[in-house]
Amino acid sequence: MLRPGGDPTVRARVEAALTTGQACWCPLVQLELWNGASGQQEQKVLRDFARTLPELPIDEEVWQAACDLARRARAQGVTAPAIDVIIAACARRHGAALESADTDFELLASVSESMG
């Protein structure tokens, strides 16, 4: 599996999602994982994921939701990388939970749905 030295709590949740068939990913998560992959073992894991994990599309609704999330986040004083905003919007759009040790996702989750 990836990140052998990563946060054990996050690793346990990811492994549980993989074991129970609840894991999925989107193209940007794939890109980030491939960008950080080192060595043949990690590349094999990613190729296996590509064969088995459902892919959540980043469609027009996700792009619109990402722009809206970015606007609302900025208005509420939350700043996060654009890629994380798109991943968070994709997960929201498809009703998927995010498993990450990245605090940007926690900040984005705190952004209220409405501005008014």
Q: What is the pLDDT of residue 52?
A: 95
* Residue 53 identity: L
The domain limits of the chain are 8-109
Distance CA 88, CA 73 (A): 12
Question: What predicted TM-score, i.e. pTM, was given to this entire model?
Answer: 0.86
Distance CA 19, CA 68 (A): 34
Q: Looking at the domain that runs over 8-109, which CATH code has it been given?
A: 3.40.50.1010
Q: What is the pLDDT of residues 24-53, one digit of tens each?
A: 999 999 999 999 888 899 999 999 999 999
Q: What is the pLDDT of residues 87-116, one digit of tens each?
A: 999 999 999 998 888 899 999 999 977 554
Measured CA to CA in angstroms, residue 97 lies from 14, 25, 34 at distances of: 11, 11, 21
What phi and psi values does residue 101 have, to the nearest 5 degrees?
Answer: -95, 5
